[in-house]
Structure formats: structure tokens, C-alpha cells
Structure 1
Amino acid sequence: MSTALNKQIQRIEPPFWFSGMHNPELQILFYGTNISQCQITIENSNAITNVKRTENPNFIFVTINTQKINTTEIDFVFKRKDKSGFIQKYELRKRTKNSATRKSFDSSDSIYLLMPDRFANGNKNNQNDTKTTEKYNRELPGGRHGGDIEGIIQNLDYIQSLGITTIWCTPLCEDNEAEYSYHGYAQSDVYKIDPRFGTNEDYVRLAKEIHNRNMKLVMDYVTNHWGLAHWMLKDSPAKNWIHQFENYTETNHKRSTISDINASKIDRNICLSGWFVPSMPDLNITNPLVFNYLCQNAIWWIEYANLDGFRVDTYNYSEPEYISKWTKAISDEYPNFNLVGEITMRNQGLLSYWQKDSPIAKIQNFNSHLSSVMDFALSDALQSVFNEDDDSWDQGITRIYDILSKDFLFPNVNNLLIFGENHDTRRLNHIYNNDIRKYKMAMCMLATLRGIPQLYYGSEIGMAGDQNLGDADIRKDFPGGWENDENNAFLPETRSECQKAYFDFTSKLFHWRKTNAAVHFGKTTHYIPENNVYVYFRYNTNQTVMVLINNNPENQEIMTKRFEENIKNHITGKEILTDLFFDLSQAIPIEGKSALILELE
């Protein structure tokens, strides 16, 4: 039988698969001109369990039971009514040993969020590509600046020197929009790394290099939408592949309608089915073909690139029943795999609703199966409290106390992702006018509060940016990531004195954090703030850490008798940043707008 005719197959997705998966069912998309007119069999096998055709004759979806396949190569036989046909080969690869039980990131880790296009240009030969529309233009604030995977690999030593254990890159898959394609959230091919970032093989190499340093890699995964330039939306398998309205309809962003028992159907529908922005069509995850496609794509990347976790963009913009099934499908394959969802809500009850086994969601018989959520309530507080010099009932450092007082709402508070800033917010150094004292207080809290701390690239050298001036201002190029940069902050000898002060502090803090199990998984006891001073303890059976945050501009003397239930028989405390010792039987002096972290001895 001829194999030449199979050139009419333009795409196969997934491009290959893996044997020995928990779910033996695999749905393969074959795309080519009028391909659905063919009858499909597998030579010497009855592994095909379903063949699905849609209104578009260029697609055919073939489901097989991989347990019935005993070879590494499958021969799919395509035959037309006129007896002509061809054979299409398909590969089943062997899984990596212990792949299913891989360890993911947790609260013993600290995460470094970077935007690849703005971090470092390691390969000048991939700045443009003939098959992508937007071209390199570093002079354009919102343009492609040329950062890539090679730039990340070349600067892994820098990230590791910060004490960071995990890297989260914003999306690296192809985004072929005509403008603003650098951020990657309007993807045009979810099985292909954007050629301006590198290749699929480069991404696998990045993961290997990270793992060689005993670090972890988190992929930024998007379930809710693709970009208008996605190849499948130019020739869609079915009209209901995406949500469509008579006229363009944007989401109302009111995700509270999902759990609101009083919400109208139309408001809930527009929230879930409206488009995020005009360039990002909303995927219809309730379509079984879309659902399977997204499940398999996510699992393929985990297996192929040996990933350690997902950050899931706009998680609760997708229909809750199906996004929870998507999450469970991944967890069934990888029981220890951590997924953190972007739940951009400030109400802690609504945030808790979206964490796995939430007692609040249980009231409505809902379980997201999502192991972690981003703590936007804490983030908002960290972006304001250090400018509030006067402590009152709900101002100043009391904001943080009040947030932690609601930790009972969460089924796993240690698995919250905590952060002061990210690629969608103002930078802390802008908010605090590059007052390094306030930066230090925020970082000390991120390093010692419950949860998984996330840092945003460049803030550790004093980078600032105001979202009100546009996204480009909070997503500036890292100095030294380009060959002719005047300042190179990647190297200690070429950092400015200001950059050095920020970096050295951050590095010492997060290197220390790696060593202390009490701040990873320990319990918390905190005390009502007085005079804008907040004291809390992180502890387990072997270690106790005492944290003092003086948000008052004035120096304070902190009497210790009030904290006897946590100090117990400890006599001294060693401050982890200065190596000074404090007598716990005496008042502890603390400078205005500063923090102390004491390991009790």
C-alpha cells in the first residue's frame, strides 16, 4: 500500500504518545484535506475503539486503547472508497521511570516567575522566524524583544544563586498574533514552542538543565482560551469548538456568579462563555473533543518535557464541572503533581471555593481537584500595608493579621501560592518608591508566612514598574540579558551598589529559607499587632522561628513576656540576616520599617 499519499495528513496531535499510562484511552487528531472520507484501521489490531467525524471533513478523531498495542510503532491504514489508501505510522514511546509518581513543587520551594521574552537573549539567530508574523523590535515597549530559552539556560546559575528552587515561565508555546505576542497567552499552536523562543528540544533541554541543579520547572498552562491565529481556529473542527455569540461578547469577569446561588443564568453564561479579549477566543471545554484535546495536551507536555508542575491561567473562567474533570485527569496520571490556579479573587471564601476539598464548595457538591490557588488577598495587602504608617482597626500591618485569621477556610493553607507581585500587577518597588526597607519587609513575610512564595524577576535587583503606564512598564528587559546592555545585573561584579543591596539581601533570605522546615510545613501562631508591629511564630516539634515586622516608622522595644506560649524555654534567638543574637528574656529592639527573623535556640 502506498505511503506517499499520506502527505495529505498535515497534522497529527498528539504527535506521539506514551505506553503504560493510567488512562489507556488515546484520542488522536488527524488533519488533512477531506481526511474524514477515509476508513481507518490498524494492521493486525482491534485497538480502535471510536472514530469521530465532525462537520469539517478535514478532521478525524480516532480513539485507541493503548493497552492493546504491544509495539512502539502503530500502522494506521487509511482507505478511500475507491480502494486507494496509505499507511500512517504513529509512535508510542516508553515512559520515563517513576514518571507517574514524580515529586512536584510544594511549600519547601520558592518560585521565580520570569517572562522569557524579557529575561535574556541567548540566541540571536531566532529573533525572527519566517512562519511567525511579529518581528523583533526591542525599541517597541510592547514588541518582541528577543529573550528566549537559551537565555534562561545561560542564566540558571544566577537564579539558583538567589536561593530559588523552582522556575515558572510565562507561556512558551507559539503565539502568532500580529502584535503583543511576546506574552504567549494567545497561543496559536499548543504542541509547539514558539520558534522565537527556541524549539521543543530546547524546552526539554531547559528542563534537564534545571533538574541537574535539583531545581524544578513549572509550565504556565492555558485552558480557557487560545489566540485568534491558532491553526485550528482558522479551519475549525466544529462550530462549537469555541463559544460564539450573535455579536462579539466579552466575559463580564464576575467569577462570583459561579458559586452565587442567586446569580442569573445569563450573567453566569457570559462570565464562562464570553471571550477574555477580542484576540482570545473562548474554548468550549464542554465539547468532549475539546476536553480530551486539552487533557492530552497537558499530559503530553508533562511526560515529554518531564515537568514538575502547572500554573493554570484564568482557571475559573472555564466551566467548573469540566475544568475540575480536566484537573482530575491530570491528577489521576500524576497523583503528586501540583497545579496552582489563577483565581483572581480577593475574597478568601471565594478563593477557598476553588481549592481541592474545599469545605465551602462541598456545600454545593463541587470539588475543583485543584491543589493550589494564588492568594490574591494576601498579595493585595502586601502591595499596600508598608505605606500605612498608622495602625488602626483594619489598616497597617493589621491587614495581614486579618487575612491569616481566615486561614481556617482553606483545606491546605500551606499549599497556597503567595506573592507580592507578578506580571499583571504593579511592581513592589514602584509601589514603595524603591524604599528597600519596605521591600525587605515584604520579602521577609513571603519567606516566612505559610504557603509557597513566588518572586517576580528583576525585583531582586530593584526593578520597578507601574501597570498604570501599560504592561510593558512592569515587564521590562532584565539588564544584562542583551549583548550590548550598559548594565549587567546577572554578574555580581557588574551590579550597581543599589542592585547589589537588593540582591544580596534576597539571596541570603531565600538560601536560609531552604534550610528551615518550620517555615515550610510548620504551624503558625500570630499575635494581634500593636503599634503597627506584627509578631508571629512558625514552628514544628524541632524548630521555632519568631518573626517581628515593625511597620511603624519609629524604633520599637518589643517586650517578650506576651509571647511566652511560643518562646517557651528558648533563651536566645539568632537573627538569620545579621547573625546577631537576642536575649529572649529582655525587650527586643527593632528599627522602624524593618523585620527580624529569629531562629530560637
Structure 2
Amino acid sequence: MKLFLSSLFFCVTLAVFGQVERVEPPFWWAGMQQSDVQILCYGKDISQFDVSVNGLNITEVQKTTNPNYLFVTVATKNVSEGTYVLHFQKKGKTKFTYDFELKERRTASEARQGFDASDAMYLLMPDRFANGDPTNDSTKNTVEKVDRANNGGRHGGDIQGIINQLDYLEDLGFTALWSTPLLEDNEPSYSYHTYAQSDYYKIDPRYGTNEDYKQLASEMHKRDMKLVMDYVTNHWGSKHWMIQDLPTTDWIHIWKDGDANGFKRSNYRMTTQYDPNASEVDAEGCMNGWFDTTMPDMNQKNPLLLQYMIQNAIWWIEYADLDGFRVDTYSYNDKEAIAIWTKEIMKEYPNFNIVGEVWMHSPAEIAFWQKDSKIGAIQDFNSGLPSVMDFTLHDAFMQMFKETQGWDTGLQRAYDNFSNDFLYSDIDNILVFAGNHDTNRIAQIYGNDFDKIKQVFTMIFTVRGIPQFYYGDELGMMGDKEANGDGDIRKDFPGGWTGDIQNAFTEEGRTASQNQYHSFVKKVLNWRKEKEVMHTGKFLQYIPMDDVYVYFRYNASERVMVVLNNSEEEKTLSLNRFAEGLHGATSGTDIVSEEKITLQNSMQLAPRAALIIELTK
């Protein structure tokens, strides 16, 4: 425990005596639901001072065992925007001050609309996407420097690089962007991963500035695109300034039987969160164990910490004008505390959206975490979390197009997954994906076989839920983490760096194979963008037979038929069985080939066919 506890009463970064070194949040807004604002004040022995604020009512001042902290709660309800001065006093005399500003909110900020099933979400890793500003590749105050030759190192991608390629993403048909975390991560290695954050109010300077992040949101909104922040609640980084000088001894989970830093790895058994038969020691081992050695596990039962996290999340939404959160390792958090965190955000922004990473392998286990879950209700638990990720469909994608039809293999895996949709409280608000920054590339799994991967893409883009797509998959990028490490599934996007041999951001810069992938994605997503039936239409599926799977999306005015032939052979598909789905339609148009298709007695399917047919009567 020496890394953390030996520094408990010592400020690592010395300040002038009596000077406030940090105030978080640095400012707030007038007219917020979250109107009682807990202001963290940090500086050498700052707790010896009394605090007053002209024009604001202080409702509580809390000191901790560490004299370098004061937590000052002020009431801002019905208070207008302006600057309010915090006076730090001793014996009635002001020794120093801090100007705390209440800003004016954007018009209708509370009514912002989060991402939903009308969107298609592009996931990228900013360090590996595009380098728009080479001057910030390495910075004075961050330890790890740029080294593009190191697969696990910093490569220099940044926020300006993302801004530079927004036209590319818009042209592809994506309407939402999820970037892996952009907040500062000052670990000496592997810091590009950015899930071990060292400052929760600061964009990593190797990515840019807070203002750059605001600019990214602004540029996206000009294109009717939405920005989703990757938010980490379960753990902070070991180099976080507060971890270096803990506010309280229970700010993080320190294990008495752990190593010198109090580290003990999580058992990762998320089933203990709801298992009625789970032992307390196992449940504690999941929730309180550290995710990794550089990621101290946060004790969200500490009310000061929980309020800090709530305010920080709201601060970023309001400051950067965000449209959603993706929450990392959601189901490892203290479940009661994370429910409070989630509900407070949704109370502030009722139309916002938050998707939680619940990496489990049963739909019942995943559905437990969604807001208003019937399963959670059995244990009187409601997370308030609007959206979850369909990891069981992801599991199916890893295998089904490599298998022939069986009782529970091949396309039956997809059918069985969707047959459990009744478990979810809001089936349209789940994230559907084949790959992300933690999984092998889909092209790797299917040997860069475009016909098979086209079937994967077809399903992602046409089933219920919100399609999420991993950067570079539109090029057929390969990557095998088991053989070559995480860096292999997080390669640099070709053309994102000055001097790259290839520029895959342009049609002429892509290979024929890459353009084949790209064209398919662009065609389907730009069609989907305008089709309400694909956003909220009902889903009707038929049991796969003879390696052919058929399903429909429909509403009162439109119907779409999707046909997948998971075979290397041509098939004749009898249509009599699909009368309910066809609903009288006798023809349709395949939206990819734009060919007219007659739908009467039967239809011929090419090997590995993937048809998306708009029906007409």
C-alpha cells in the first residue's frame, strides 16, 4: 500500500502554502437539476481554512483525514449565472480566493436527444485513427512519448485527426461516433488505451485540449452527427493525482491481503452481482477487486466519491455538448451506486442515452442491467441504464458463418439469440456489433472472405437495435490479438498520418478489396439512415432451414425482407412459408444490387447470398 498510503498526508505536487491548487468542478451552470454542487478544493493543508462564498449558500463543508482536501457544497438553485468568489479565511481574514463561475446553459440543453436506433455508431481509437496535429504527439507533462513502431505505444492520433475525417464518416453513412477515452492517461506505457485515467477534467494533451473536444462535438452537430463519450466509473489510473494523494483511506478498495499497493485482481465473476446463492467473499472479489494493476478500484460507496463522479459526468455533457455515454465495465461497479450515478444523469437529461458494457454470455444476464428490467425487478433492482450491448449476438458472429446448419449451430445461433428478445425491457435500445477494440477483427475471424463478412455486416445493419461498427472494418482490416497482441487489432488507419504509403480515406487510395467492403457499408448505411422501418420496425424471423435464414422488418407502411444463404451452394427458396412476412408483396428491390426481384413461388439464391429486399405489392 506504500504507493498510496505513504503519500496520504503529503501533497506530491507542492503548492504555495495556503494556495488552492485545484478546484473541481472548475465551474458549473445556472439552472441545473444538479443544483447542490460539491466543490472539491485541493491544496497543501487547505482544510485549516474556513470558506465563505458571496451570493451562494454553503450547505455543507466536509473535511477528510487528508488535510489537503475540503469538500464545499453550495446551493445554486434559483441563482443566476455569474462569478461567485470563494473566500478561504483564517481568523476571519481572507488569505486567498477562487472565482467560481456559474455559466449560462445552452438553450434546451436539458432536452438534448441521445443516440438511438436511427443512428449507426462508428467506434474508433483516437491514437490509431488519424494524426491531425503532429505537434502534440509527445508533450512535456506526459510520460510516454510517441513511438509509432511500438504496437503497444503512442502513435500520435488525436482529436484534430478525427475532425479532419468527419466528412469521411458522414459519407459512409455513420451518424454517431464513439471514441475510446480521451481523458488524460499518464501511465508510463500502454497509455494510448486511455482506460487508466489520471485527470477526469482534462483531455489528454497528446489528443488535444478540452476546447478541441468541444470543437469535435460542434463539428459533428453541424453534420447531424452525435458524439458519445467513453466514460470509466469502475476504476481510475494509478497516476491519477488523487490516487497519489488519497482524499480518504476508503477512496479506493485497498486489499489487506493484496500487494504493496493494496492491489488484488478482480475475480471477474460478474454473475455474483445477482446470483442469489453467491458468497459475500466472491461478490466482493468481483466488485472490489482491481481490473488491472494500474487501475485502482474505486469505492463508490464513499458518498464524496460518488457525488464527484456524478458531477464530473454531468459536467462533460454540459461542457462538451455530448449526446451519449458508453460506460466501460459497467457491471463491475457497485451496482447500487452505479444505479444512482446513472439515474442522476438521466434525471438531468431525460432524453440522453447511456450504453453499458456488460460483457456476459447469456441474454438474461445482460438484460438484468437494462432499465426497467423484468429480471432485475425480481431482486428489486433497477439500474436506470437505458442501453446495453448485445454480447450474445457478438458471440454468435464469431462462429455462425463458419458452421453448417445444426440444432444449435450456424444461423440457428442468430435465431436463438433473437428468440430471447423478450428478456429486454427496450429491445430497440441495445447496441449490436461484431467487433470492437477488445476483440479479434471480424475479417481475421472469417479469413478476409468478403462474402461471409458481407453477411455479418448485413445482419448488424438490419436487425433490431443500434448498429455499432469498429473503425477499419469497412476496409477489411485484419488483426489477431491472441497471436500478436492488442496492437494488432488496433492498427493505424492507413492514410491517417502524413507520409503514409496508402490513404484509405479516399476511393483512389483504397485497394479493390477495400473498396468492395467500403462500398457495401456505404450503400447499406446511407439507405438505412432514411428508413424508419429499420429503426423502430417490428422484427419477424423464421427458423433457418437448409442453411438459409429469413427475417423481416416491418411497420404500418413499409416492409423489408432479409435473406441470408449460409452455404457455398446455390439454393432454391420456396416462398410459401413466408406469407406472413411478405404480407401480399409479390416483388421487391435488393437495395445493394438495385435489382428487381419477383416474389411468387420461389426465388434462387446465389452461394453466400445476402439480400436486403424492399418489398412492394
Partners of 1:82 and 1:516 lie apart in 2 by 66
CA deviation after TM superposition for structure 1 residue 71, in Å: 4.6
**Residues in 2 aligned to 1:115 and 1:334: alpha-carbon distance in whole angstroms:** 27
Q: Tell me if 1:413 matches 2:427.
A: yes
- 2:488 aligned with 1:509: no
Structure 1: segments with no counterpart, 5+ residues: none
Instruction: Please list, as runs of the form range in 1=range in 2, the aligned pairs for 1:445-464 lying within 5 A after superposition.
Output: 445-464=459-478
| Structural mapping, 1:39-188, within 5 Å | 39-43=50-54, 45=55, 47-67=57-77, 69-81=79-91, 83=93, 85-188=95-198
Q: Return the offset for 1:81.
A: 3.4
Change in Cα spacing, 1:56 to 1:68, as seen in structure 2 (3 Å) is farther
Unaligned ranges ≥5, structure 2: 1-14
Distance 1:515 1:570 in 2: 21
Q: Give, in whole Å, the separation in 2 of the partners of 1:350 and 1:396.
A: 23
Provide the residue aligned with 2:48 in structure 1. 37
Counterpart check, 1:443 vs 2:438: no
Q: What is the CA–CA distance in structure 2 between the aligned matches of 1:217 and 1:523, rounded to whole Å?
A: 27
Letter in 1 for 2:532: A
- For the residues of structure 2 that align with 1:117 and 1:225, how far apart are their CA atoms? 21
In 2, distance between residues paired with 1:78 and 1:313? 38
The answer (yes or no) to whether the contact 1:111–1:166 under 8 Å persists in 2 is yes
**Could you tell me whether the CA contact under 8 Å between 2:43 and 2:69 is conserved in 1?**
yes
Quote the residue 1:568 is aligned against: 583
Indicate the residue corresponding to 2:26 in structure 1. Answer: 15
CA contact (8 A) 1:171 1:185 kept: yes
Write the deviation string for residues 105-141 of structure 1: whole angstroms up to 9, x where unpaired. 1001000000000000010100011100000000111
Name the amino acid aligned to 1:19: A
Residue 491 (structure 2) aligned to one of 459, 476, 493: 476
The alpha-carbon deviation at position 485 of structure 1 amounts to 0.7
Equivalent in the alignment of 1:465: 479
CA distance in 2, matches of 1:229, 1:506: 40
Residue of 349, 357, 371 corresponding to 2:386: 371
Distance 1:570 1:466 in 2: 44
Partners of 1:572 and 1:600 within 8 A in 2:
yes
In 2, Cα distance between the equivalents of 1:71 and 1:120?
A: 39
1:24 pairs with 2:38: no
Alignment partner of 1:398 out of 407, 412, 430? 412
Q: CA deviation at 1:33?
A: 0.6
Instruction: Supply the distance in 2 between the matched residues of 1:84 and 1:205 (Cα, whole angstroms).
Output: 38
Q: Is the 8 A contact 1:122 1:150 kept in 2?
A: yes
What is the distance in 1 between the residues matched to 2:436 and 2:34?
35
1:215 aligned residue (213, 222, 225):
225
Q: 1:295-444 counterparts in 2 under 5 A? A: 295-388=310-403, 390-444=404-458
Q: Give the secondary structure class of the aligned counterpart of 1:231.
A: coil
2:11 corresponds to: none
Secondary structure at 1:241's aligned position in 2?
coil
The amino acid that maps onto 2:430 is L
TM-score (normalised: structure 2): 0.95
Does structure 2 conserve the Cα–Cα contact (< 8 Å) formed by 1:119 and 1:481?
yes
Given that residues 6 and 88 in structure 1 are in contact (C-alpha distance below 8 angstroms), is that contact kept between their aligned partners in structure 2? no
Matches within 5 A, 1:216-255: 216-246=226-256, 247=258, 248-255=263-270
Instruction: Say if 2:81 and 2:103, in contact at 8 Å, map to a contact too.
Output: no
Helix, strand or coil for the counterpart of 1:48? strand
Following the alignment from structure 1 to structure 2, what is the Cα–Cα distance between the partners of residues 46 and 342? 39
Task: Give a deviation string over 1:72-125, Cα, whole Å, max 9, x none.
Answer: 100111111384522221111011100001011100100000000000001010
| Runs of 4+ displaced beyond 2 Å | 4-7, 68-71, 81-84
Q: Separation in 2 of the partners of 1:375 and 1:105?
A: 16
- Is contact 2:18-2:46 (8 Å) kept? no
Structure 1 residues 70, 131: CA separation in 2 closer, same or farther (over 3 Å shift)? same
2:216 alignment partner in structure 1: 206
Counterpart Cα distance in 2 of 1:509 and 1:590: 19
Contact 1:324 1:370 in 2 (8 A): yes
Contact 1:35/1:59 (8 A) holds in 2: yes
* 2:556 matches 1:578: no
Please report how far the alpha carbon of residue 535 of structure 1 lies from its aligned counterpart in structure 2 after TM superposition: 0.3
1:471-529 deviation per Cα after TM superposition (whole angstroms, max 9, x unaligned): 00100000000111111100111111111111011110111111211111011111110
Contact 2:372 2:425 in 1 (8 A): yes
Residue 453 of structure 1 deviates from its aligned partner by 0.4
Tell me the SS of whatever aligns to 2:118.
coil
C-alpha contact (below 8 Å) 2:364/2:375 kept by paired residues: yes
Three-state SS of the structure 1 residue aligned to 2:272 is helix
Inter-partner Cα distance in structure 2 for 1:235 and 1:405: 51
**Equivalent residues of 1:5, 1:86 under 8 A apart:** no
Determine what percentage of the aligned residue pairs are the same residue: 51
Q: Distance in 1 between matches of 2:423 and 2:383?
A: 15
State the distance in 2 between where 1:345 and 1:25 align: 37
What whole-Å deviation, never above 9, does each CA across 1:151-177 have from its counterpart, x for those lacking one? 000111111111100000000000000
The offset of 1:69, in angstroms, is 3.3
Alignment partners' CA distance in 2, 1:71 and 1:404: 50
Report the residue type matching 2:28 in the other structure.
Answer: W
2:287 alignment counterpart: 272
Instruction: Tell me, yes or no, if the aligned pair for 2:186 and 2:197 is still in contact at 8 Å.
Output: yes
| Secondary structure at 1:558 match in 2 | strand
Instruction: Provide the rounded CA distance (Å) in 2 between the counterparts of 1:538 and 1:71.
Output: 49
Task: For residue 583 of structure 1, report the CA deviation from its aligned partner.
Answer: 1.0
- CA offsets per residue over residues 446-477 of structure 1, 9 Å max, x none? 11100000000001011010120210010000
Q: 1:527 to 1:70 in 2, by over 3 A?
A: closer
The CA distance in 2 between the partners of 1:594 and 1:435, in whole Å, is 13
Whole-angstrom CA distance in 2 between matches of 1:412 and 1:397:
24
Q: Matches of 1:137 and 1:194 in 2, distance apart?
A: 17
State the match for 2:544 in structure 1.
529
Distance 2:107 2:363 in 1: 40
Secondary structure, counterpart of 2:21 in structure 1: strand
Q: Distance in 2 between matches of 1:489 and 1:586?
A: 44
* Mapped partners of 2:199, 2:84: distance in 1: 25
* Post-superposition CA distance 1:548-599 (Å, at most 9, x none): 0110111111111110112122121110000111111131111112210100
Task: Letter of the 2:453 partner, please give it.
Answer: Y
* Paired residue secondary structure (2:281): helix
Measured in 2, the distance between the counterparts of 1:194 and 1:68 equals: 35
